[in-house]
Amino acid sequence: MIPATLEMPTSPSAGTGSSRRPDRAASALAILVVDDDPIEVRILRKHLSEAGYGVLIAGDGEQALEVVASEAPRLTVTDLMMPRMDGIALCKALRGSPAGRQMQVIMLTGCEEEESLVAALEAGADDYVIKPVRPRELLARVRAAHRTILLQDQLRRDKEELRRYAAELAFANRKLQEAALTDHLTGLPNRRCGMERLAQEWASSVRTGQLLACLFMDIDHFKQVNDRYGHDVGDQVIHETGGVLKAAARECDVVCRIGGEEFITICRETDLEGAARLAERARQELEKHSFGVAGFDDQVTISAGVAVRDSSMCRPGDLLNAADTAVYAAKRAGRNCVKLAPMGIRSLPSDG
């Protein structure tokens, strides 16, 4: 039996009578030669090595499978007739293994009968060469197989590139979507996102009959902050205010900045009393908050309006308008307080 070996191509030396130069592209490819005939192996090894290919040798199909498992060659040139495991059985075994499915297989056969050739191709061979092997034909078929391997590699790279591009595009789209729905100053959902979420919660409330409340909050005398300290400080005040309102809300609540110094909180499954407590907690937390803005030491307060969806409301905007109306009532009442809507506007006790 011929032992499994690997021989790399060598440059033609003086006295060989050969002027063929190894193909640099071919040197990256190792070819597995499977044959139990030492003379045939020597001939194949000579031609393939001189063409620039590395050569792996196996004496039969079983030994070839061991070489494939350890070396993972991309091209196999195998004899059809061999002991223990012939070329047909080897080809079938290769096509049944992960390592052999993408392999190019060229079958060598001394039999020109159609039945044998068809059997070789149906077993999974990609091409065949009739013995005795003619070097030019063999190398032409090997180069064709090599081109197929290069195309497979390029296709694999292209697919990987497309997957990477698709992943990057999906990530960029997510970022764009987040940016489109996020207030850049506070990091909270913006007006667009808030209105979409309010519409979603409204539809759910109508469908299930569950309660839905909305808090509308407006920073008191915010124009004076901008006039006295400048818009940069005003922006920082809005940023910190958004953080305080978010921290005062429950995890299930949606706090949004809908423009300027105005915020809303959408509260699902919350009645008027529960929503009023949430609004009062937010008011108290902001009233006692110490802002980390250089040169700013004023107190910041909010006027808040609270509304709950009822049968008189026809659309999400009605709920928002009811809460907004309550905010105006809070401002008329002196600001820094919470007012309720729609069933008679009244003040919420300061202890919540």
- In which residue are the tokens 């409330």 written? 205
Averaged pLDDT for residues 307-334: 95
Averaged pLDDT for residues 287-311: 93
pLDDT digits (tens, 9 = 90+) for 171-198: 999 988 888 999 999 999 999 999 999 9
pLDDT digits (tens, 9 = 90+) for 81-130: 998 899 999 999 999 988 888 899 999 988 777 888 898 899 999 999 99
Question: Do 30 and 53 form a contact (C-beta atoms < 8 A)?
Answer: yes
What's the pLDDT at 346? 38
What's the pLDDT at 344? 36
What's the pLDDT at 4? 53
What value does the mean pLDDT of the chain take?
88
CA distance 158 to 155: 5
pLDDT greater than 90 at residue 219? yes
CATH class name, domain 191-340: alpha beta
Q: Where are the domains of the chain?
A: 5-157, 191-340
pLDDT digits (tens, 9 = 90+) for 154-169: 999 999 999 999 999 9
Residue 218, strand partner residues: 262, 303
How does residue 18 score in pLDDT terms, banded at 50, 70 and 90? very low
What is the CA angle 173-176-177, rounded to 5?
85
Is this prediction's pTM over 0.75?
Answer: no
CATH number, span 5-157: 3.40.50.2300
pLDDT greater than 80 at residue 17? no
pLDDT greater than 50 at residue 37? yes
119 membership: H or E segment, kind and range: helix 114-122
How does residue 12 score in pLDDT terms, banded at 50, 70 and 90? very low
pLDDT digits (tens, 9 = 90+) for 235-266: 999 999 999 999 999 999 999 999 999 999 99
pLDDT greater than 90 at residue 7? no
- In which residue are the tokens 């110094």 written? 261
